[in-house]
Homo-oligomer: A and B are copies of this chain.
Amino acid sequence: MIRTIKELRCWSRQQHHAQKRIGLVPTMGALHEGHLSLVKTANQYCEATLVSIFVNPAQFGVNEDFYQYPRPLENDLRLLQTVGSPEVFVPDVAEMYPAGFDALVHIGGVTQPFEGAFRPTHFDGVTTVVLKLFLASETDAAFFGQKDFQQVCVIRKMVTDLNIPVEIVVCPTVREPDGLAMSSRNRYLTESQRAQAVVLSQSLTLAEKMIIDEKIFNTETIRQKIRQKIRQKIRSKIETASDMKIDYIAIANPKTLDELTTIDSDAVILVAARIGTTRLIDNVLLSIADHR
């Protein structure tokens, strides 16, 4: 287990010296099957897989769950042994943000709507720490889950705008048998909340089915009204769970995250809702080519 950036750089240089490509899976720990699928994909792409485990204070808002966030390190390390025992980087906060640290990587545009509107400092914290992890590890590729769809857009934009020599690989959302997207925050849910949380993924499945069945991928007939109809479908489903509070339901361009008024190109449907003090997000990507 690597604890310092100095050791990490030493490890990375060794890998590159041995002509091994590095694949980084950045995580905040509390690993689940979603993370493990990223590690398995990294193992296929690269000769040396690195998993970082760092609960990054900079991406939590002042009233968010930084102190409550689960940190089951021993169990995480055990889980990683089941997927090829990748190298693990576990810095403490002072290693990533030493006294006097004063840097910020800000990406505009795609950071502003949706999660950015509800968590105004979140993506600055994400981009700053992800750039640090990329550069400290000198990684060749990095693996992210589609579940954090907007995060992926933001990181792709950062990579493009700052000319970062890292390949971004996005892996499908891993779900529980009933459809709930895996998330470290699911363990916050009570039994009743867990049962209700399934409406999030169910609402997306319904919306997707509606778009396909009603052939909504048809430029001529797609108007504001239909977009409202899709949103209403999602809203009605989510509201069947009495404790669910919707933050947003959006139908957007998957690259720019601009909200779509007509669905004549690929689209992503994004939802966020709170249940109790837990905030959950999910999304579904619709490829127009598959349905036209």
Task: Decide: B165 and A138 in contact? CB cutoff 8 A.
Answer: yes
Task: Decide: B105 and A105 in contact? CB cutoff 8 A.
Answer: yes
Q: Is the interface of A mostly helix, strand, loop or mixed?
A: mixed
Number of copies: 2
Interface residues of A in 152-201 (CB under 8 A from B): 157-158, 161-165
Task: Decide: B103 and A106 in contact? CB cutoff 8 A.
Answer: yes
Task: Decide: B162 and A103 in contact? CB cutoff 8 A.
Answer: yes
Task: Decide: A162 and B107 in contact? CB cutoff 8 A.
Answer: no
Q: Given contacts A135-B162, A162-B131, are A157 and B9 in contact (CB under 8 A)?
A: no
Rounded to whole angstroms, the CA-CA distance of A158 and B100 in the bound complex is: 12
User: Is A214 engaged at the interface, CB distance under 8 Å to the other chain?
Assistant: no
Task: Decide: A135 and B165 in contact? CB cutoff 8 A.
Answer: yes
User: Is A109 engaged at the interface, CB distance under 8 Å to the other chain?
Assistant: yes
Rounded to whole angstroms, the CA-CA distance of A131 and B135 in the bound complex is: 11
B-side contacts of A100, CB under 8 Å: 109
User: Is A132 engaged at the interface, CB distance under 8 Å to the other chain?
Assistant: yes
User: Is A5 engaged at the interface, CB distance under 8 Å to the other chain?
Assistant: yes
Task: Decide: B109 and A136 in contact? CB cutoff 8 A.
Answer: no
Task: Decide: B108 and A163 in contact? CB cutoff 8 A.
Answer: no
Task: Decide: A9 and B106 in contact? CB cutoff 8 A.
Answer: no
Rounded to whole angstroms, the CA-CA distance of A136 and B103 in the bound complex is: 20
Query: Which of A105, A107, A132, A136 has its CB near the most chain B CB atoms (within 10 A)?
Result: A105
Rounded to whole angstroms, the CA-CA distance of A100 and B162 in the bound complex is: 12
Residues of A within 8 A of B (CB): 5, 9, 100-109, 128, 131-132, 135-136, 138, 157-158, 161-165
